[in-house]
Amino acid sequence: MRLNKKVAPYIFISPFYILFLIFGLFPIVFSFFLSFFLWDGMSPMEYVGIENYKYVLTDSWFWKSLLNTLVIFILTTIPQHVISLFLAFILNSGIIKFKEFFRNSYFLPYITSSVAVALIFGTLFGVQYGILNAFLRHLANFAPFQWLFNAVNLQLPIRWLGDPAWIKPSIALLVTWKFTGWNMIIYYAGLQKIPETVYEAAKVDGANLRQIFFKITLPLLKPIIFFAITMSIIGNLQLFEEPMVLVGSNGGARQAGLTTAVYLYNTGFSYLDFGAGTAMAYILCSIIILFTLINRKFFKRDI
Amino acid sequence: MKAKVSREMVYAEKTFTGILKEKIIKLILYLILILGVIATLFPFYYMLVLATKSNTEIFSYPPPVWFGNNFRENLQTLLDALPFFRNILNSVFVATVSTVLTLFFCSLGGYGFAKYEFKGKEKLFFLMLATMMIPGLLAIIPWFILMSKFNWLNTFYPLIIPGIANAFGIFLMRQFMEDIPDDIIDSARIDGCGEFEIFIRIILPMSLPALGTLGILTFLGSWNNYMQALLILHDDILFTIPVALSKLGGKIDQNWGAQMAGTTLAIAPMVIAYVLASKQFISGITEGATKG
């Protein structure tokens, strides 16, 4: 059979729309439908109106998980972007050699499986025998660090994954370690699109590195920063693998590491409460969309 | 030319302290970059250290910082807990099949959008891009129900089929194929080539660089896919690597050496591929970001 030039493109692009219809759109619509029913997957479905939404919105664990997610989001997103922008700027400044080596090294964590690196960090975070605590104990032998640790009232050894106060920073540390390189690659690519002449002109005018960064690089990089932060919002608000492996599906001590994604997983697949689970999915995704809209507004105002 | 002259003037004005200051800044920047590299690579190094140490060496103070010779024993412990080599094979199978099918269907779709004019093209393309913004968690529960209705639980289909014609891949291929000259396609038509034949014989071979990039990203995504594999695969023998790794905690909780031996095997193929082809890995990431 020979394809007609008029029909061919429709056939070529059709697999995407067919697969999206079956595996994307249908579950999304069905999800919305399910969120108004009480169902465990086996017994008959029972229509309950907006009860599932009411239930989720009055569930203290849901709010706790949302708060956990937001705290981890802030603890990892801010350092990620500050560090990666800074690193990309240094690499692009023209005074550094071995750029490829640095760039490739920073990117390495991104290509490794989240589960694998979470297991590695699980050992680094060991209380008695973890290398991180051993390093801190070693540092504490030196007077300046001892003074510093006392000043912030740091008790060694740190129970990274056992102490509710430390669980979120520990998860955030892993996420930051994994994704800073990705952001850096994006920023570095964006920086390379800024023409050299812009910097030359600034240098001629006597601008120093700091002025160049704040007055030239940042404003010109805005669309890229907007994109990278959007990706951080979508990814970090759905954080699942890292907390799941580090502290387990119950979220660890006092559920301090229970993210909304993990709680959603539990609600759907452990408690088999499909109605509440899908309602929660819609609420979480509304929050994600809200965040991306706020982000867009924030960036559009200045562009 | 003008810029060059004024630049030399700037340098000429530099004093000794100015040069010293510049050197110190440079030194500090290098120091920061190197500290960053150490922080980035240390977890991998330490994984290798633990993978080669026995439990008694690991659980002692101070903890080990150099390699031991216990890798074989750790590996044996791992293999007693899980059919780990089979798990690796599963991952290789799923990732390979996903990649081959994805390359075919995404380049086909990309070609459709890049080189044809048809009614509704702009709208269909925008619609496709818009689906990329849908958070993956939104429909995970009905997706799982659908898979069980298909009788696809405990099979590899759910990990392969839904993604083989994905928006990102089609977008990436379209970006590349737009630069292929129309003349080549037109002259093939005059020679009597069919539309599909043109795609197979001319377009695919010309798109090798983009196929390489998309292939790497697809393989990587499939290799590291966790949540869906966790939902779908329930038997040890069918686990892919991420699921197998995540079950280790429950099986050999207190054996870091064996856990790290497994982790090493799990990430080694990707790291080796990355060292050999870092350019393709990175260009795939930046392509989507800076053009999109």
Q: Does A9 touch chain B (CB under 8 A)?
A: yes
- Cβ atoms of A236 and A80 within 8 Å: the answer is no
Cα B141 from Cα A39, distance rounded (Å): 12
Do A155 and A254 fall within a single domain? no
CB nearest A185 (choices: B134, B141, B285): B285
Q: Is B137's CB within 8 Å of A261's CB?
A: yes
* Residue B217: its H or E element: helix B208-224
Please provide the size of chain A in residues.
303
Q: Is B289's CB within 8 Å of A27's CB?
A: no
> Å from B60 to nearest chain A CA?
7
Cα B262 from Cα B254, distance rounded (Å): 14
- CB contacts under 8 A, A 120-149 vs B, are 120-124, 126, 128-131, 134, 138
CATH number at residue A207: 1.10.3720.10
Query: Closest chain B residue to A245 measured between Cα atoms?
Result: B246
CATH value of B82-251 in 1.10.10.10, 1.10.540.10, 1.10.3720.10, 3.30.1360.40: 1.10.3720.10
Chain B neighbors of A66, CB-CB under 8 A: none
Do A103 and A118 fall within a single domain? yes
Do A50 and A112 fall within a single domain? yes
Structure tokens at B28: 């500090």
Write b or e for each residue in A95-127: b if 16 or more Cβ atoms lie within 10 A of its Cβ, otherwise e.
eeeeeeebbbbbbbbbbbbbbbbbbbbbbbbbe
- A46, β-bridge pairs: A38
Maximum pairwise Cα distance, chain B: 77
Q: Which residue has the tokens 């240094």?
A: A90
Give the pLDDT confidence score for residue B82 in this predicted structure: 92
Counting one residue from chain A and one from chain B, the pairs whose CB atoms sit within 8 A come to 280
Q: State the residue range of the domain holding A131.
A: 126-159
Do A106 and A153 fall within a single domain? no
pTM of the full predicted structure?
0.91
Cα B51 from Cα B70, distance rounded (Å): 7
Q: Which residue among A134, A159, A184 closes a domain?
A: A159
Chain A neighbors of B105, CB-CB under 8 A: 15-16
Structure tokens at B259: 């856990």
CB nearest B40 (choices: A11, A181, A244): A181
Q: Is A19's CB within 8 Å of B164's CB?
A: yes
Q: Does A277 touch chain B (CB under 8 A)?
A: yes
- Cβ atoms of A179 and A239 within 8 Å: the answer is no
Give the pLDDT confidence score for residue A302 in this predicted structure: 57
Q: What is the ipTM of this complex?
A: 0.91
Cα A156 from Cα B143, distance rounded (Å): 46
CB nearest B170 (choices: A16, A111, A177): A16
Do A103 and A232 fall within a single domain? yes
Give the pLDDT confidence score for residue A300 in this predicted structure: 79
> Å from A211 to nearest chain B CA?
15
Tell which residue, A187, A97, A72, A130, has the closest CA to residue B42.
A130
Give the HSE-up count for residue A119: Cα atoms under 13 Å, Cβ half-sphere: 33
What does the mean pLDDT of chain B come to? 89
Do A255 and A111 fall within a single domain? yes
Q: Which residue among A106, A135, A159 closes a domain?
A: A159
User: CA B105, A182, A105 angle in degrees (round to 5)?
Assistant: 110
Give the pLDDT confidence score for residue A39 in this predicted structure: 93
- A38, β-bridge pairs: A46
Structure tokens at B248: 């280790």
Q: Does A36 touch chain B (CB under 8 A)?
A: no
Structure confidence by residue, pLDDT tens digits, B106-142: 999 999 999 999 999 999 999 999 998 889 899 999 9
Cα B205 from Cα B190, distance rounded (Å): 20
Do A142 and A175 fall within a single domain? no
Q: Does B5 touch chain A (CB under 8 A)?
A: no
Do A187 and A284 fall within a single domain? yes
Do A67 and A191 fall within a single domain? yes
Do A248 and A168 fall within a single domain? yes
Do A132 and A244 fall within a single domain? no
Q: Does B272 touch chain A (CB under 8 A)?
A: no
Band (B288; pLDDT cuts 50, 70, 90): low
- A47, β-bridge pairs: A37
> Å from B55 to nearest chain A CA?
11
Domain membership of residue A144 (yes or no) is yes
Domain membership of residue A25 (yes or no) is no
Do A202 and A136 fall within a single domain? no
- CB contacts under 8 A, A 240-269 vs B, are 240-241, 244-245, 248, 261, 264-265, 268-269
Chain B neighbors of A274, CB-CB under 8 A: 141, 145
How many domains does chain A divide into?
2
A67 CA to centre of own chain: 15
Domain membership of residue A110 (yes or no) is yes
Give the pLDDT confidence score for residue B4 in this predicted structure: 47
Q: Is A209's CB within 8 Å of B161's CB?
A: no
A235 residue type, one letter: G
pLDDT at B55 over 50: yes
Give the HSE-up count for residue B247: Cα atoms under 13 Å, Cβ half-sphere: 24
The number of beta carbons lying within 10 Å of the beta carbon of residue A235 is 19
Chain B neighbors of A123, CB-CB under 8 A: 46-47, 50, 256, 259-260
Locate CATH 1.10.3720.10 in chain B. 82-251
- Cβ atoms of B85 and B96 within 8 Å: the answer is no
Domain membership of residue A15 (yes or no) is no
The number of beta carbons lying within 10 Å of the beta carbon of residue A196 is 10
Q: Does A288 touch chain B (CB under 8 A)?
A: yes
Tell me the C-alpha to C-alpha distance, in Å, between residue A32 and each of A25, A189, A240, A280, A285: 11, 39, 22, 10, 12
- Cβ atoms of B64 and A123 within 8 Å: the answer is no
- Cβ atoms of A186 and A235 within 8 Å: the answer is no
Along chain A (303 residues), what's the average pLDDT of each consecutive run of 10 residues? 84 96 95 94 90 96 97 97 94 86 94 94 91 91 88 88 95 97 93 86 83 87 91 94 93 94 95 95 95 90 59
User: CA A287, A288, A294 angle in degrees (round to 5)?
Assistant: 85
